[in-house]
Structure 1
Amino acid sequence: MPVRLSGLQKEVVALYRQCIRESKKKPEVAQKHFIAFARKEFDKSIYLDKKDFSAIEYLMRKGKRQLEMYASPGIKDIK
């Protein structure tokens, strides 16, 4: 039986997938750096309580701002 995700959980997964997609647009050498950075950022909050909506929403806004910044064509690598 598949796991049912809440709307907020779906948004988090969508943001992660969008981060991975954006990393594929970067130079091949830098792609692994972007993916590792995204993974590390999501892992920081893995133990956050699922019902702490204000913290999750704050982190989603922060993540979207970071994604927008790092998706800029001027950003070639991240370390």
Structure 2
Amino acid sequence: LFIAIAVALLTVIVIVLFVQHFYSMARHSKMQMQVLSLYRQLLRAGRYKPGFLMRIRSEFRENASIPKNNVMHIEYLYRRGQRQLEQIKDANTKQLGAFTKTSKDN
């Protein structure tokens, strides 16, 4: 009888913890889901091109600190990422270009 009560109590505890975990998980917005999908697509597309994965990861890390309420900037980067994805998928693409700010630009 004691074992049955202990098992029942343990089962209830596990169920409560599962429900708490399920409801505490953050739900992603539609834009967040699209950005995560784009990230995965970029990683897949750049898998066999040298240097691409490191660049993709660094770009996403660099922009991860953009506030969620800065929707215009996020949408701009998302569209730019989609264009870059199409370029990466092109078999003729061998490297990603980058524009850097020089001291003359100031």
Give yes or no for TM over 0.5.
yes
Indicate yes or no: 2:84 matched with 1:61: no
> Where does the alignment leave 5 or more consecutive residues of structure 1 unmatched?
none
Aligned Cα root-mean-square deviation (Å):
1.7
Deviation at 1:76, TM superposition (A): 3.1
Deviation digits for residues 6-64 of structure 1 (CA, Å, limit 9, x no counterpart) = 0000011000000111123x35xx1xx11101011111211101011111000000111
Partner of 1:36: 54
Distance 1:15 1:65 in 2: 11
Distance in 1 (CA, whole Å) between partners of 2:77 and 2:95 is 23
TM-score by length of 1: 0.82
**2:93 corresponds to which residue?**
75
Residue of 38, 59, 73 corresponding to 1:15: 38
Question: Percent of aligned pairs with the same residue?
Answer: 34
| C-alpha separation in 2, matches of 1:57 and 1:65 | 12
TM-score if structure 2 supplies the norm length?
Answer: 0.63
> Which has the larger Rg?
2
More helix by share: 2
Cα distance, 1:78 vs. partner?
A: 4.7
TM-fit CA distance, 1:3: 2.2
Number of equivalenced pairs = 74
